[in-house]
C-alpha cells in the first residue's frame, strides 16, 4: 500500500496495483480500476516514486526484468 494525502489533509493508503490512470485536471486524480476516483495533494511524480519504491520493497521488479 502507498500513502496519499487528500486535499483536506486526510491520509489514505491505496493499493497501487488498483490505480488505472493518474489525471491532472488541475488537481491530481487517481482513477481506480473499481471506478472510484481520489483527488490527492501528491504530485504525479511523487505517486510514481512511491509505486516504484513499493514494488521494489515487495520484490515485484524481480519478475519484470
pLDDT score recorded for residue 5: 98
- What is the secondary structure of 14-51 as a DSSP string? E-GGGEEEEEESSSEEEEETTS-EEEESS-HHHHHHHH
**Predicted confidence pLDDT, tens digits, the chain (65 residues):** 999 999 999 999 999 999 999 999 899 999 999 999 999 999 999 999 999 999 988 886 666 55
Domain boundaries, the chain: 2-63
- Chain centroid to Cα 45, Å, comes to 10
pLDDT score recorded for residue 59: 83
pLDDT score recorded for residue 12: 95
pLDDT score recorded for residue 36: 97
pLDDT score recorded for residue 14: 97
Amino acid at each position: 500500500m502507498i500513502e496519499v494525502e487528500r486535499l483536506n489533509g486526510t491520509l489514505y493508503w491505496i493499493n497501487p496495483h488498483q490505480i488505472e490512470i493518474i489525471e491532472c485536471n488541475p488537481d491530481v486524480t487517481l482513477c481506480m480500476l473499481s471506478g472510484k476516483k481520489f483527488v490527492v495533494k501528491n504530485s504525479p511524480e511523487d505517486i510514481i516514486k512511491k509505486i516504484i519504491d513499493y514494488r521494489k520493497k515487495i520484490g515485484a521488479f524481480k519478475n519484470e526484468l
